[in-house]
Amino acid sequence: KNQVEQSPQSLIILEGKNCTLQCNYTVSPFSNLRWYKQDTGRGPVSLTIMTFSENTKSNGRYTATLDADTKQSSLHITASQLSDSASYICVVRALSGGSYIPTFGRGTSLIVHP
């Protein structure tokens, strides 16, 4: 069964600090991995997508990495801001098999304190 595990479940950091969120998956065959940010009371918004050949990709203060061999991804947030407080969701998509249903992780809840 395809699974996506995220850690930690929740994280509290001080404004200005860096943090790293983890995503491990067993989805096969792998197509792509996407990180979403979900603000409280809102729908998820895409931050970045990683395909098989990509190791790292940045979007402003967000940097995602992918190790397809170990089936792990991380999302690094640099110089955190209060607006980074949100849930971060890792979504992995299988390549084929007649099914394009993505597998969602449960998310990491990040709280940034002033």
Partner 1 sequence: NAGVTQTPKFQVLKTGQSMTLQCAQDMNHNSMYWYRQDPGMGLRLIYYSASEGTTDKGEVPNGYNVSRLNKREFSLRLESAAPSQTSVYFCASSERRESNQPQHFGDGTRLSIL
Query: In 3D, which of 2, 11, 1, 3 has the Cα closest to residue 75?
Result: 11
The answer to whether residue 92 forms part of the interface with partner 1 (CB under 8 A) is no
Q: Scanning residues 10 to 69, which ones bind partner 1 (CB under 8 A)?
A: 32, 34, 36, 41-46, 49, 51
| Host H or E run for residue 41 | none
Shortest separation between residue 114's beta carbon and partner 1, angstroms: 26
CB-count burial class (<10 Å; 0-12, 13-18, 19+) for 1 = exposed
Shortest separation between residue 111's beta carbon and partner 1, angstroms: 17
Other CB atoms within a 10 A radius of the CB of residue 101 amount to: 9
C-beta closer to partner 1: residue 41 or 114: 41
Shortest separation between residue 3's beta carbon and partner 1, angstroms: 10
